[in-house]
Amino acid sequence: MAKFEVPKLPYDYGALAPYISEQTMKLHHDKHHQAYVDNLNKAVDMHPEWGEKGIEEIIKTYDKAPDDIKTMLKNHGGGHYNHSLFWNMLSPKKDQSPSETTKQMIDAQFGDIDTFKKQFGEGATKVFGSGWQWLVMDNGKLSLMSTPNQDSPLTQGKTPILGIDVWEHAYYVDYQNRRADYISGWWHVVNWEYVEGLLTK
Ligand code: MN
């Protein structure tokens, strides 16, 4: 029995175009995310007690799992968790602005929104190979971090607020090797409303 499922995309596959194409979204959501979920389900089938935990608990505690599924939970559990967040962090309502509350919180930590975007973008550009760049809440303070592969900030006790997937599968069809262009395009479809929800939770 499949315990975990890929959540339905909260908008049409083509809704983020021209910044992220329909083809990329179909591959990314239906194939890549699905593969993480399928492999996560295989792992919890091997040790069903792990299938009774929620995905956040799995991300926080996979290190305590039996050796034969530890890496599967880390990679595929992480993939499922990160991508479930990622779809919601994007919106077809393009060029949203952060609300006053969000802006104040970002200004307090980074000076202003442009400096924040610059630093976040630099971090995303520098991720070597496959991984993610994040804005996280860490002990009540906003900060930037990147994670390799499908590692989640949650494993380190930090709460993801905004994250960009910089695996090539996220942008190669649309931007080929031009990760910086993908990052610039991606800002146009950031769901600031959702980000605010995470910030003020
Ligand atoms: Mn991805």
- Residue 147 amino acid letter: T
| Centre of ligand 1 from the C-alpha of residue 114, in Å | 26
Res 89 pLDDT > 80: yes
pLDDT at 131: 98
| Centre of ligand 1 from the C-alpha of residue 147, in Å | 13
Q: What is the CATH number of domain 22-88?
A: 1.10.287.990
Res 1 pLDDT > 60: no
User: Locate tokens 């029995």: which residue?
Assistant: 1
Crossing angle for the helix pair 113-126 and 100-110, nearest 10 degrees?
Answer: 70
129 φψ region: left (φ > 0), alpha (ψ -120 to 50), beta (else): left
pTM score:
0.96
At 2-25, the pLDDT tens digits run: 699 999 999 999 999 999 999 999
At 166-180, the pLDDT tens digits run: 999 999 999 999 999
Q: What is the CATH number of domain 100-200?
A: 3.55.40.20
Task: Tell me the domain boundaries of the chain.
Answer: 22-88, 100-200
pLDDT at 201: 83
Alpha-carbon gap, residue 114 to 120, rounded angstroms: 10
| Centre of ligand 1 from the C-alpha of residue 28, in Å | 6
Domains 22-88 and 100-200 fall in the same CATH topology: no
| Centre of ligand 1 from the C-alpha of residue 105, in Å | 28
Q: What's the whole-number mean pLDDT along residues 128-136?
A: 97
